[in-house]
Chain A
Amino acid sequence: EAQVTQNPRYLITVTGKKLTVTCSQNMNHEYMSWYRQDPGLGLRQIYYSMNVEVTDKGDVPEGYKVSRKEKRNFPLILESPSPNQTSLYFCASSGTGKVVGYTFGSGTRLTVV
């Protein structure tokens, strides 16, 4: 089954403790992206990657890092989480060259206390 898999689904952590949210896709997609969803703000792009070793900032990159060492994986790293990063996070992927829309993961609900 074609899918984007995120882990974990839920995470509660403390301020300053480094964490990684994993994202993996099995569709051989070139393009991957991270979004955060906040009430009243919709989804805002954090980072995206056009292919292996090619990443770039989205609209709200502060406090986040990403890497794309393999085509299927695109982890999101919070080196020193703060309470304002409490949010619902989505990973998405798509092919390039044809517009078919994104395939989204199921989301990771992060709470930073």
Chain B
Amino acid sequence: AQSVTQLDSQVPVFEEAPVELRCNYSSSVSVYLFWYVQYPNQGLQLLLKYLSGSTLVKGINGFEAEFNKSQTSFHLRKPSVHISDTAEYFCAVSLYGGATNKLIFGTGTLLAVQP
């Protein structure tokens, strides 16, 4: 069975500092990987996804993530955060070639950007 682990439930960071949100997954088969962002009182919005090819994936709002197959990780990074990046971030996996489109989510990381 597939699973996703986001070890950090909350990450406080000062404005303009770099940030990394960690995501590790467990799967015996190939997966697709996603990061979603949830701003307060809103639904989830796709930040970026890894399907195949280059392991460095760039998304919206200056975020990027790197797929590391040997470490089964898909960490999200941003070189300089803004107050407006304060939100909850979810990592998710989907089976490559799976019979359904099921997304399995991690428990989320709250990014709290302080001035």
Assuming the contacts A48-B102, A94-B101, asked whether A42 and B46 have C-beta atoms less than 8 A apart, the reply is no
Q: Is the CB of A101 within 8 A of B46?
A: yes
Interface 1/0 per residue, A33-46 and B, CB below 8 Å: 10100001111110
Q: Is B71 interfacial (CB-CB < 8 Å)? A: no
Main secondary structure of the interface of A (DSSP, over half): strand
In the complex, besides A33-B102, A44-B105, A99-B32, 17 extra interface pairs with C-beta distance below 8 angstroms are A31-B100, A35-B105, A40-B9, A41-B107, A42-B6, A50-B100, A99-B49, A99-B51, A99-B94, A99-B101, A101-B34, A101-B46, A102-B103, A104-B45, A105-B43, A107-B42, A107-B43
The range of chain A's interface size is 20 to 34
Give residues in B with beta carbon < 8 Å to A. 6, 9, 32, 34, 36, 42-46, 49, 51, 90, 94, 100-103, 105-108
Distance A63 CA – B51 CA, assembled complex (angstroms): 35
Distance A13 CA – B1 CA, assembled complex (angstroms): 36
Rounded to whole Å, the gap between the CB of B30 and the closest CB of chain A is: 12
Distance A42 CA – B90 CA, assembled complex (angstroms): 8
Q: Is the CB of A42 within 8 A of B106?
A: yes
Chain A residue with the shortest CB-CB distance to B101: A31
Contacts of A92 in B (CB 8 A): 44, 103
